[in-house]
Amino acid sequence: MTNAASSPRPWALLTVAGLVLASTLAAFPAAAQRTATWRAHPGDAHGFDAFALAEAVDRAASLAPLTSLLVARGDTTVAEVYFNGRTADRGANLKSASKSILSALTGIALADGTLDDVTQPIGPFFPTLLADAPQKQRITLHDLLTQQTGLESTSFGNYGAWVSSDNWVANALRRPMADRPGGEMIYSTGTTHVLGAVLSRATGQSLRTFAQERLFDPLGVRIRSWQRSPAGRYFGGNNMALTPRALLRFGQLYLNRGTFRGRRILPAAWIDRSWRTYVRSTYNNHQYGYLWFTHLFGGEQVAFAWGYGGQYVFVVPRLHLVVAVTSSLRTRPRGSDDHNERILRLLAEHLIPAARGDSPVANAWAERYALGLWGASPP
């Protein structure tokens, strides 16, 4: 398979008249182009400002650690470009963007009745570990999903010691209480590892098996890899690898209110609950729902999954827009510390304006959103 980014300027083949991403079209066989979800079309055919989208792709090429940029209007991909030698079929480590996938798995388990409710306490899942910790027993699924357990964080300066321990669940749950359950947000990857353990015990399956069978098989994609703890438990909210196309499709599932090709995978009500603001992040000004961030970018409300080093999927419901971005974790050049901010500026200052455009199609999508008319059918 030819690499779309094999030349120094992979975007140079864009035709301004139609904004056909020729670099992308040349990279994939005709069969892939005919697949309904992954059709590539001229950008201006779906309400995009062709010149603005071309400029956005141009700017993306200058973000050195960036490895992929995929842009979709609804179920149609209008731009798909790979950089720095990356190819479409190579998995990308999503880092903490995996947490939003864990949120989806929780919604599926609740819809199944495998879990009772978000108010369900975690004590019964860990009777031995929490036998002498009544306050920790009262931590709820809601607290895990909003990072409000009150437990000392296992992230940032504590991360190394946590992942070096023999039992990540025990280490996370035995940490001192820095706040009460339901108090301030304390970002902690250990919290989502505990949630993964709850899901595994409730379903009677490994977390990876449950995720593959109930979420990714219906989406037609597969998990490429997922790190496990020394005790053999899958990580949960970190170090899952998917292809950029699979990440985009996950975002499209949320855009389409939990359905894919007419099949209900996730309750629409769960998406609403996941994107509600419960807390504000203690280390940036983003709002936080059920393991999803939300924020206003470029004048639009955006829900997004975010992973270390520049791994994102952005969902912009009013514009029927999904953007997936992956970045290299190994080739971060000097001066790339602001890489996350540059990606957010790319979204806010270039991709959203390009998607908004001044076209009947873009305006029709905005009107449908305002009226609450969801779904993948074009206006």
Model confidence pLDDT, tens digit, residues 220-246: 999 999 999 999 999 999 999 999 999
The answer as to whether 196 is a domain residue is yes
Q: What is the pLDDT of residue 281?
A: 85
The answer as to whether 298 is a domain residue is no
Q: Are residues 356 and 235 in the same domain?
A: no
Q: Are residues 250 and 141 in the same domain?
A: yes
- Burial profile 35-64: b = 16 or more Cβ within 10 angstroms, e = fewer: eebbebbbbbbbbbbbebbbbbbebbbebb
Distance CA 219, CA 377 (A): 18
| Low-confidence spans in the chain with pLDDT less than 50 | 1-39, 335-336, 376-379
C-alpha separations of 329 from 50, 94, 114, 145 in Å = 31, 10, 36, 26
Q: Are residues 163 and 81 in the same domain?
A: no
Q: What is the pLDDT of residue 97?
A: 98
The answer as to whether 67 is a domain residue is yes
Q: What is the pLDDT of residue 210?
A: 98
The answer as to whether 225 is a domain residue is yes
Q: Are residues 33 and 16 in the same domain?
A: yes
Q: Are residues 113 and 169 in the same domain?
A: yes
Q: What is the pLDDT of residue 13?
A: 32
Q: Would you give the DSSP letter of residue 379?
A: -
User: Number of folded domains in the chain?
Assistant: 2
Q: Are residues 116 and 262 in the same domain?
A: yes
Among the listed residues 195, 180, 183, the one whose alpha carbon sits nearest the alpha carbon of residue 100: 195
Q: Are residues 326 and 234 in the same domain?
A: no
Q: Are residues 116 and 73 in the same domain?
A: no
* Domain end point (choices 230, 260, 287): 287
Tokens of 76: 């149609």
The answer as to whether 301 is a domain residue is no
Q: Are residues 220 and 334 in the same domain?
A: no
Q: Write the pLDDT tens digit of every residue in 87-98.
A: 999 999 999 999
Contact yes or no for 39/24 (Cβ under 8 A)? no
* Domain end point (choices 242, 266, 287): 287
Q: Are residues 232 and 111 in the same domain?
A: yes
The answer as to whether 210 is a domain residue is yes
- Burial profile 140-171: b = 16 or more Cβ within 10 angstroms, e = fewer: bbbbbbbbbbbbbbbbeebeeebbebeebbeb
CB atoms within 10 A of CB 74: 20
The residue range of the domain holding 125 is 95-287
Among the listed residues 188, 184, 12, the one whose alpha carbon sits nearest the alpha carbon of residue 83: 12
Q: What is the pTM of this model?
A: 0.86
* Domain end point (choices 287, 304, 336): 287
